[in-house]
Amino acid sequence: MRILSLTLALLAAASLPARADDTEGALKAGGLVLEPGSAITLVAEDLYLSEQVVKADYRFRNPTGADIQATLTFPMPDLVGAAAMAVSIPDPAQANFLAFEAAVDGQAVPWQLDQRAFLMREGQAFEITDELKSLGIPLVPTVAATAVPLRRLSEQRRKSLIEAGFLDRQVHRDGTISDVPLWTLKSRYARRLTFPAGREVTVHQSFTPSLGAQSSLSFGSPDLGPSQMARYADRFCTDPAFARTAQALYRRASADGSRFFQAYEQSLTYGVPTGTGAIGTFRLIVDKGDPVTLVAFCGSNLKKTGPTTVEMVVKDYVPQRDIDVLFLKSASRVSAAPPI
């Protein structure tokens, strides 16, 4: 096995830095990507964003007189194992950790999942996919995925993995031990499709988003400086009116020391691939889920379509940036608890 051959190189490298704060980061995931160079056009895309689910409906058209075969891919975000992981993973025990699903012309079809694991040290990537598979260790670098399979290995084998930089051993206050994966997982789903000449093909995609979270309000706090306010405005297009509402929410949550009422932040990032050409009709719906939730995101000609939904429709839309959505949540202590 390559484990022993990698040991000397990896022992000389620095360990990954731990992260410790009161926030939880988000994984950026986005839409389907059509292989470049294809004559296929995207006639329309309907995108629905919420804290619970992301859904996208695509209408692709082959304008030529001959059938075209092309590959659609869903690039999954990288998962980076670390001793102190502070990233939101919807299902950290599963290879399909975002619960990705997709259907073509209304029919559920299988998509090929390609996953590879790497140890990243000193700017170099060492692939360890085969080593992990030979030991029966899942490729997802989370304790939820690997704890049980690792316990099936001998202590000597686990120590060799620690020495090789695959794992980091954590001893908890109660005396229990966790062997934390340290590799990086790269994943993507792919499907080869035939686009018939002169016809449209519809594709429906859904997945569970990874949400960034803070256990209290940052936006709305009097401690938020001008540069931080500018970052919120650049990312979420927060305006003075939204800021005043957030400040009132902060004051309410602070009035009783958060004993009976709480407010906190969540955010969602939808990664939009650039350089893919114009979308004939792009329709975005953002659903905040709860009428009392405050929501902010960048868009034009926004229209409120329901108690919790805001819609934007753009013709000949050319994506220029990711779509970032800020949710300012509030609830009584009796009915809910902070996300972290």
**Residue whose tokens read 């902070």:** 338
Rounded distance between C-alpha atoms, residue 98 and residue 100, angstroms:
5
pLDDT confidence of residue 333: 66
pTM equals 0.88
Region 88-93: mean pLDDT is 96
Q: What is the pLDDT of residues 173-203, one digit of tens each?
A: 888 888 999 999 999 999 999 999 999 999 9
Least confident of 25-29, 138-142, 332-336: 332-336
Residue 7: pLDDT above 80?
no
Residue (of 327, 279, 267, 308) closest to 31 by Cα position? 279
| Percentage of the residues of the chain whose pLDDT score is greater than 70 | 89
Residue 19: pLDDT above 70?
no
The residue among 87 and 257 whose pLDDT is bigger is 87
DSSP state letters, 40-95: -EEEEEEEEE-SS-EEEEEEEE--SSS-EEEEEEEEPPPEE--TT--EE-SSTTSS
Do 56 and 47 contact (CB within 8 A), yes or no? yes
Region 78-88: mean pLDDT is 88
Q: Other C-beta atoms within 10 Å of 195: how many?
A: 23
- What tokens appear for 199 in the block? 């016809």
Residue 267: pLDDT above 60?
yes
pLDDT confidence of residue 339: 52
Mean pLDDT of the chain: 89
Do 317 and 311 contact (CB within 8 A), yes or no? no
Cα of first residue to Cα of last residue in the chain, in angstroms, is 40
Residue 225: pLDDT above 60?
yes
Region 2-23: mean pLDDT is 37
Region 264-288: mean pLDDT is 90
Least confident of 13-17, 100-104, 123-127: 13-17
Region 291-319: mean pLDDT is 95
pLDDT confidence of residue 255: 86
Give the start-to-end residue ranges of the domains of the chain. 211-340
pLDDT confidence of residue 37: 84
Residue 311: pLDDT above 60?
yes
pLDDT confidence of residue 205: 97
pLDDT confidence of residue 336: 47
Do 124 and 114 contact (CB within 8 A), yes or no? no
Residue 137: pLDDT above 80?
yes
Residue 324: pLDDT above 50?
yes
Q: What is the pLDDT of residues 152-181, one digit of tens each?
A: 999 999 999 999 999 999 988 888 888 999
pLDDT confidence of residue 192: 97
Region 110-128: mean pLDDT is 93
pLDDT confidence of residue 5: 36
Region 70-94: mean pLDDT is 92
